Structure 1
Amino acid sequence: MSLYRRRICIYCSATVLFVIIQSLVYIFYSSESYCRNKLEISIPENLSDKASILKINTRVLCWIPTTLKRLDRAVVVYDTWAKRCDQSIFVIGGSRPSPPPDTSKYPFTIAYLDNENVEKYKFLSEKVLLSLLHIYNNYGKDYDWFFKGDDDTFVIVENLRHFLRRRLSNAS
């Protein structure tokens, strides 16, 4: 008989404990709960746009190697993520065409390396090195970070800035 009483006592205790926990959870998550209102975190209006804060502290130049034949891809890259960089530069290995690309259709910066040989796929590493030299010589002191993407890459620039915000850009 004592085993039966012990089981009844454990069952009743567990039921009471369950009802208490369920009541506490209900009180905490109800919309008029005092506890829940105290835990609400308010963000000041001038700090509500985290992306703007990160943009001020982390200057990123995004450069994308492409070709004249793939400028339509460059438009898509610019419209989706590249315009979120502080500056985006599309690098073409060849020289500037005689009628330059229409700026209303291609509203981004295009840098020409004036070297037709690097437009071939097998010379891609040379194109990247020449692009880095061009960017360093022309923009090296204006930005903290340089990101190389491609015309088939997608980047969430805000996440990139968040990743880079605590790293030293001048560390070797």
Structure 2
Amino acid sequence: MISEGNSFMRGMLIGGAFCVVVTLLGHIKLGHEHITNHEHHHIQAPNKDEVKKLSDAERMELSQSIRVYCIILVKPKDLSQWAAVRETWSKHCDKVEFYSSEQMKVFESISVNTNDMWAMLRKTIQMVYYKYKTEYNWFFICQPSTFAVIENLKYFLLKKDPGQPFYIGHTVKSGDLDYVDITGGIVLSIESLNRLSSIFNEPEKCPEQGGLIFKTSEDKQLAMCLKYKGVLAENAEDSEGKNVFNTKSVGTLIKDAMANNPQKVVEGCCSDMAITFSGISPNSMHVMMYGVYRLRPYGHSFHDALVFTPPPNSDND
């Protein structure tokens, strides 16, 4: 009997291990993910070794298929930040436009004529959807104090199907609601915009204005509207599980790492494939641009499998 029991347990363990392997293999698949039951809350960047196995034609197709439209929400008080974003990282978007709370003469922008941040975001998304829904498949929304590495964003999105309702960034929990913190930037697939366009026609579920007495932040309000359409917030991580959308500056993250684990400052600070940092001053934004795009160790090659070519006017490389 003991021998039979041991055989039974071994069989159970082998069967369980086989199921785990099959599940993992299912997640290694390259190309666009087609997710029927889209309820996961943590998603990771592709594995670099798997990407290297792609043919040149597959790499080219993937790199050209991801088109990112960048939305920067600005107010008159943000002029210095606004100027820094225009001159630095935003040139690497496939297209970038600034949406302002009021008409501005200093820089070109699209006015939405409201100071209510939720109404501003809502109107902006509506305008963008009707104008660009057939031209772009990914939409990146951020504040003017955010610095973004668009090439890393495109790499992260390689295996993601924009036909699925993706709502990605740095997630935060508030009661029963998981939402993407706009401080670190918000990424929406075209399918998420399709669903938002639908819920915007139901003001009882997705109001046009924030609360009259207790204001709900624009990122939380966005999450509530998306949740009505079955779109859940997802935390973006690299292949090692580190956050790639950051709601703090590089300096603050390094200080935190030094305080929490001084033996592993670099490893504990930031992902090598970080997409955003926040709370960046105009001068620091130019310094970030130098460090990310201009400084090069001579003779060193990163042997990247893919190349994301920035638009022709991207003269900051």
Note whether the superposition's TM-score is higher than 0.5: yes
In structure 2, distance between residues paired with 1:53 and 1:153? 29
- Distance of aligned partners of 1:53 and 1:170 in 2 relative to their CA distance in 1, 3 Å threshold: closer
Q: Is the 8 A contact 1:67 1:92 kept in 2?
A: yes
Q: Is the 8 A contact 2:63 2:158 kept in 1?
A: no
The alpha-carbon deviation at position 72 of structure 1 amounts to: 2.6
Map of 1:144 onto structure 2: 137
Map of 1:57 onto structure 2: 65
TM-score (norm 2): 0.32
Gap runs ≥5 in structure 1:
1-46
| Aligned sequence identity (%) | 26
Candidates 119, 134, 155, aligned match of 2:148: 155
Map of 1:77 onto structure 2: 85
> Rg larger in 1 or in 2?
1
Q: Secondary structure at the match of 1:76?
A: helix
Q: Which amino acid aligns with 1:110?
A: S
Q: Is the 8 A contact 1:54 1:158 kept in 2?
A: no
The alpha-carbon deviation at position 54 of structure 1 amounts to: 6.4
**Higher RCO structure (Cα 8 Å, ≥6 apart):** 1
Q: How does 1:105-120 map to 2 (within 5 A)?
A: 106=107, 110-113=109-112, 115=113, 118-119=114-115
Gap runs ≥5 in structure 2:
1-55, 166-317
Q: Which amino acid aligns with 2:72?
A: I
1:136-156 deviations in Å (ceiling 9; x for gaps): 111121101000011000111
In structure 1, distance between residues paired with 2:139 and 2:99? 13
How many corresponding residue pairs?
109
The alpha-carbon deviation at position 87 of structure 1 amounts to: 0.5
- Distance of aligned partners of 1:162 and 1:67 in 2 relative to their CA distance in 1, 3 Å threshold: same
The alpha-carbon deviation at position 79 of structure 1 amounts to: 1.8
In structure 2, distance between residues paired with 1:67 and 1:146? 20
Q: Which amino acid aligns with 2:164?
A: A
1:50-93 deviations in Å (ceiling 9; x for gaps): 9x986522100000100233233112012221110000111012
Map of 1:165 onto structure 2: 158
Greater percentage in helix: 1
Map of 1:134 onto structure 2: 127
In structure 2, distance between residues paired with 1:54 and 1:157? 15
- Distance of aligned partners of 1:54 and 1:90 in 2 relative to their CA distance in 1, 3 Å threshold: farther
RMSD: 2.4
Q: Which amino acid aligns with 1:88?
A: V
In structure 2, distance between residues paired with 1:171 and 1:142? 17
Q: Secondary structure at the match of 1:152?
A: coil
Q: Secondary structure at the match of 1:130?
A: helix
In structure 1, distance between residues paired with 2:127 and 2:101? 11
TM-score (norm 1): 0.56
In structure 1, distance between residues paired with 2:61 and 2:150? 13
